[in-house]
């Protein structure tokens, strides 16, 4: 099937992201953003469509037509410095005296901490027979965006893993381009978790084609879920299926499975500047498009994002929609296991 794709120069260049080799320009986070891309129809998974038309027919457990990969980047486990002040003010405006009293102490008492909500997320997902992946940072004090010591979350990490959800690594600010940094953080997380970590996503979605894939493969990761634009939802390389990246420099496939990121909460409102209604219309259209081609929708929902006033209300709206469409809703780890054992072996 790859050989057929190579014969179509336009689709092959898109699939391999040829335009991201030897970059002249990048954004402030050393990323290649959508606004610099020559690809204009990002909402069309044209490479996946080609593959389906040429024999790719993935099947999922229990005859499900498509899959949803739920993921959460845990950038913050504790409120930021300004949160107690802002949170108290908002609570007072709403007349919530109890909330105003609790907010300043949310870092001390975890029951009052709105971002210590891993079990709440799991409980919500379980309502829809779903599981997800939690990607945790393993930063040291002094590193950019340090908010929590991973050792302090040992009980939570093991609870997540023991109950069948996945714990993965959220690579630090420099990890995307440093094997040493990736390995140091991977070993640290695995020591706390007590088991091997196979899933990865980099902080800020920082990524360098094809170098980051090569580094992650060398580090022993089985899959990556970083590959999406921060400034626009959609299909970065025209794919709505997991794929093995191809290195144009070595002319070889890289031994790692990419679960392309299609929807991120912050992208919809912060970068695309969509209102709540238009954001939901776009989310539904992307889900429907992936369903059409029997693909996988990878969604990133941060634990500290609040839309429409309630932390998980909008996220539940998404869960309700994909559940009603009878999707297989699960973690990156489960997607990797199924795809590598059942789909790739039949191709």
Q: Distance between CA atoms of 188 and 139, rounded to whole angstroms? A: 9
Q: Distance between CA atoms of 68 and 107, rounded to whole angstroms? A: 33
Output the DSSP codes for 127-172.
TTT---EEEE--PPTTSTT----GGGGHHHHHHHHHTT-EEEEEE-
Length of the chain: 347
Q: What pLDDT does 347 receive?
A: 67
**CA nearest to 137, candidates 94, 93, 79, 185:** 185
Q: In the chain, which stretches have pLDDT less than 70?
A: 81-112, 306-311, 347
Q: Distance between CA atoms of 22 and 248, rounded to whole angstroms? A: 12
Q: What pLDDT does 110 receive?
A: 66
Q: What pLDDT does 32 receive?
A: 97
pLDDT tens profile 185-240: 999 999 999 999 999 999 999 999 999 999 999 999 999 999 999 999 999 999 99
| Residue 200 phi, psi dihedral angles, 5° rounding | -145, 145
Instruction: Write out the two tokens for 93.
Output: 């405006």
Alpha-carbon distances of 72 from 21, 69, 136, 304, rounded to whole Å:
29, 10, 9, 10
| 9 class by beta-carbon count within 10 Å (0-12 exposed, 13-18 middle, 19+ buried) | exposed
**CA nearest to 117, candidates 299, 306, 297:** 306
159 Cβ contact partners less than 8 Å away, ≥ 6 residues apart: 118, 119
Q: What pLDDT does 85 receive?
A: 41
- CATH number at 2-78+115-346: 3.20.20.370
| 297 class by beta-carbon count within 10 Å (0-12 exposed, 13-18 middle, 19+ buried) | buried
Q: What pLDDT does 113 receive?
A: 87
pTM: 0.92
Q: Distance between CA atoms of 15 and 209, rounded to whole angstroms? A: 12
Q: Distance between CA atoms of 334 and 284, rounded to whole angstroms? A: 23
pLDDT tens profile 121-143: 999 999 999 999 999 999 999 99
């Amino acid at each position: 099937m790859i050989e057929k794709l190579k014969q179509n120069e336009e689709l092959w260049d898109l699939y391999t992201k040829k335009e991201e080799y030897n970059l002249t320009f990048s954004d402030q986070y050393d990323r290649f953003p959508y606004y610099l891309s020559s690809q204009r129809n990002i909402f069309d998974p044209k490479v996946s469509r080609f593959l389906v038309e040429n024999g790719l027919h993935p099947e999922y457990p229990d005859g499900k037509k498509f899959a949803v990969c739920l993921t959460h980047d845990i950038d913050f486990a504790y409120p930021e410095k300004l949160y107690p002040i802002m949170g108290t003010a908002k609570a007072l405006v709403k007349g919530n005296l109890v909330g105003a009293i609790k907010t300043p102490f949310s870092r001390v008492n975890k029951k009052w901490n709105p971002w210590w909500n891993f079990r709440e997320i799991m409980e919500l997902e379980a309502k829809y027979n779903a599981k997800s992946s939690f990607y945790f940072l393993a930063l040291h004090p002094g590193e950019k965006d340090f908010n929590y010591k991973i050792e302090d979350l040992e009980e939570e990490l093991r609870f997540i893993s023991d109950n069948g959800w996945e714990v993965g690594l959220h690579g630090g600010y420099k990890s995307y381009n440093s094997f040493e940094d990736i390995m140091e953080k991977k070993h640290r997380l695995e020591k706390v978790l007590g088991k091997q970590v196979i899933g990865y996503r980099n902080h800020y979605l920082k990524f360098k084609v094809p170098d980051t894939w090569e580094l992650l493969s060398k580090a022993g990761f089985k899959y990556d879920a970083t590959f999406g634009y921060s400034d626009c939802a959609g299909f970065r390389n025209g794919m709505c299926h997991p794929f093995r990246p191809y290195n144009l420099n070595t002319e070889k496939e890289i031994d790692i499975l990419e679960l392309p990121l299609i929807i991120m909460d912050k992208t919809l409102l912060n970068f695309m500047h969509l209102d709540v209604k238009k954001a939901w219309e776009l989310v539904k259209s992307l889900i429907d498009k992936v369903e059409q081609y029997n693909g996988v929708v990878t969604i990133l929902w941060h634990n500290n994002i609040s839309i429409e006033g309630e932390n998980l209300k909008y996220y539940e709206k998404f869960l309700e929609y994909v559940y009603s469409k009878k999707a297989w809703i699960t973690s990156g780890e489960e997607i990797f296991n199924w795809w590598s054992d059942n789909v790739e072996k039949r191709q």
